[in-house]
Amino acid sequence: MFERSGSRYSDLEEERLFVTLTSGFGVAALVLASLGIYGVMADSVAQRTSAIGVRLALGANPRQVLAMVLREASWLSAVRAAAGAGASLLLSRLFGVAPYDPATLWGAVVLY
């Protein structure tokens, strides 16, 4: 398939290239997803800055405010993980993965 200086790459070299490219795209997708989650949470907290300030002014403990923000983040993450698991069930047949492969589903949910 690929030629270099008159000789063909071996099958092993082709597989290594494919694994390297796939891993690179996977890492890039993970970084972009992490940045997206950070952006959504930063925007959510920025919109609630005045409410957080009022709570603190009325005597709320900073730990309570932190717990409130983390509870909201956990809820958003759980909803998105459920949506991702559902989408993976629908789209798994396109990529030759068993439709209900538990390792793939849990890996997608944990990494997401």
**pTM here?**
0.54
Of 4 and 56, which is predicted with more confidence?
56
Place of tokens 């390792």: 103
* Mean pLDDT within 59-79: 87
Rounded to whole angstroms, how far apart are CA atoms 33 and 63? Answer: 28
Residues 65 and 41 in one domain: no
Query: What's the structural domain count of the chain?
Result: 2
110, 88 contact by CB (below 8 A): no
Residues 67 and 111 in one domain: yes
Range of the domain at 111: 61-112
Which amino acid would we find at residue 5? S
Please state, rounded to an integer, the average pLDDT across all residues of the chain.
Answer: 81
Give residue 88's pLDDT band: very low, low, confident or very high (50, 70, 90).
confident
Residues 36 and 79 in one domain: no
- Cα of 30 vs its chain's centroid, Å: 5
Q: Is residue 54 part of a domain?
A: no
pLDDT value of position 8: 65
Rounded to whole angstroms, how far apart are CA atoms 108 and 8? Answer: 36
Rounded to whole angstroms, how far apart are CA atoms 98 and 92? Answer: 7
pLDDT value of position 99: 61
Burial of 77 (0-12, 13-18, 19+ CB in 10 A): middle
Residues 39 and 80 in one domain: no
Residues 71 and 101 in one domain: yes
Residues 70 and 108 in one domain: yes
